[in-house]
Chain A
């Protein structure tokens, strides 16, 4: 990480350059090629638009490079797009005014971008044009006269091949002296139609040979976008993708879990017994573990995501599924994020970064927690195995499996329904038309790919990790204090149950009992719900502790304890309506501080995580209530 600060606004500070260009022009590749791994990533205030900048070393002179959000034109058509204009006008707090603009354009589609370059010349800042994808232009047989282009525009024009480093030396020396850049004698017309004419007249002298179609892309797309084979491939890629996130991360997560357990054990052995040892072992080390445990899934997800993105398949996958996603008001790219959320909402929400429309991205983030993540499975497994009879319904299909399937389908259906509702009411479209470029296929560059994956993992640790850590320690405090000595005649398990009931969480469980009674929940389930705010699967361990049923591995004894528990009037606590209500509650409720933390990180405000928690809690309570009544009426 660079040590340079962000507020170097004085005139004699380092020069500030903005990278301007359309989403697929190769801006990010150029940014990475110029700056290496030193990007500072954040958000622009008020919007969910990512802000990336880095310090450039230009042989003794340093400069700041801002990677502006990709845009096709300078007349914004949404609040989020207005960020580009605001940064350029110096209206964004904490962002220095830009001393020079680097307009990045794909050499293969110069005729599209030239009017945009003309628009940028009107911004009144020194402009330098960088043409990317020159290697592809050559491969497609196209020829451009860069000198003529430079003469016609009146500003420096540099051709680069970002991932090979070609042309970067000339660009660096230009950046070292923005005062020396030439500027146009006459500005291009400011009227749209006239500017198009201006562009055409330049193009007629600059384009020597037009690029042919990319032969490889055309051949590959014949299969990849074929109505039948393309759909099949899409399904295969998505199943593999999901399978890898879901199962390949398992061994690494088990290993982390085991290591954290042994570190905690070692800490407990060295420290004198008491609350200090508990804090270190159960609070601090377990808290760190609850952060690190996400890394395998996040790294696998982003390795695959960026690989598919860099090759050029992501846009094609979105193309194949767009029609279906369009029905609920989202676009094709939201599919991958929702699918990833089946493994875990944390990487799923991080995957929404590939959705260009910030509104669509927000809606996807808000519904992602409804997808049935793997942390719900232990809860479902416990309740279903304890209370749903092992009867067969039809052929090999059993009732237990059907209930589990119903919970999965229910979550997904709820996510889609809520997304459609939000898009029609709260978060309407931002008016951005759906327009997506299909890039030509290219081999990914290892360095670029690795840096993207690294950046995602690091961003998670740094910005969501701290919140998760603090939340887990707070929950530990709630579950452990005040410490009341258990009566001496109780055995170890009963003592643990006793001290949990006396803890703040235990008292809170009692306090919320009237509120959750309509769902059939008693105070013990209440404590479980409070504890499972840390992570849903903690419900199982907490119930085990309350019922003094030994360790969570011994689920048989826990199952028996749950089955035999009775209320004051002799009815079982876990009767059919209560079990149904509890299952439904877990379908909807946002019982996961990590998800809350990642929503905070991705939307850059507490407003959206608060909203998500509230609406999902209201939904969970309402649907549980309905489930309780329905089952009570029919059973």
Chain B
């Protein structure tokens, strides 16, 4: 698991803290255990864009959109995903 974020994108939080409606880019997943592997299998890999769609009425879990699908994660897992704000080139380069 890559644990050092790219230099141009400083880590500025974990996925559970990102407000609804924001898009971020994954810079790393904490740990190298089974859960980290599963998060990787679910597509939470370095460089992947994730949008926070909505939180459940009781505040947890949260629906994220990534890779063209919607994934629902609890805080206990999403707090292990370190993310950075989208940099301007990201936003421009999004339409491929």
Contact = CB atoms under 8 A, between A and B. Distances in A.
Interface string B55-90: 011111101011111111110110000000000000
A428 interface: no
A112 B35 contact: no
Range of interface residues on B (Cβ < 8 Å):
35 or more
A197 B58 CA distance: 38
A109 B42 CA distance: 10
B41 A210 contact: no
A159 to B, nearest CB: 16
Contact of A435 (B47, B73, B96): B73
Contacts of B2: 193
Contacts of A193: 1-2, 46
Contacts of B67: 109-112
Given A73-B41, A112-B42, A320-B56, A436 B71 contact: yes
A513 to B, nearest CB: 50
B58 A108 contact: no
Interface in A384-409: none
A99 interface: no
Interface in A302-356: 315, 319-320, 322-324, 326
A87 to B, nearest CB: 19
Contacts of B43: 109, 111-112
B70 A77 contact: no
Contacts of A228: 57
B72 A213 contact: no
Nearest to B65: A213
Interface in A427-441: 431-438
B38 A72 contact: yes
A433 B39 contact: yes
A109 B1 CA distance: 22
Contacts of B69: 106, 108-109, 112, 437
A230 interface: yes
Given A111-B67, A213-B65, A326-B74, A73 B38 contact: yes
A238 interface: no
B35 A323 contact: no
A319 B46 CA distance: 26
Contact of A438 (B38, B66, B72, B74): B72
A200 B59 CA distance: 34
Contacts of A115: 41, 45
Given A112-B43, A319-B61, A323-B61, A433 B38 contact: yes
Interface string A44-80: 0000000000000000000000000000110101000
Contacts of B76: 433-434
A221 B47 CA distance: 27
Given A108-B69, A225-B63, A432 B38 contact: yes
Interface of A: 72-73, 75, 77, 106, 108-112, 115-116, 140, 142, 192-193, 196, 200, 204, 207, 210-211, 213, 221, 225, 227-228, 230-231, 315, 319-320, 322-324, 326, 431-438
20 contacts: A72-B38, A75-B37, A77-B35, A77-B37, A109-B69, A192-B37, A210-B96, A213-B65, A225-B54, A225-B56, A315-B72, A319-B63, A320-B58, A322-B61, A322-B74, A431-B34, A433-B73, A437-B69, A437-B71, A438-B63
Interface of B: 1-2, 34-35, 37-43, 45-47, 54, 56-61, 63, 65-74, 76-77, 96
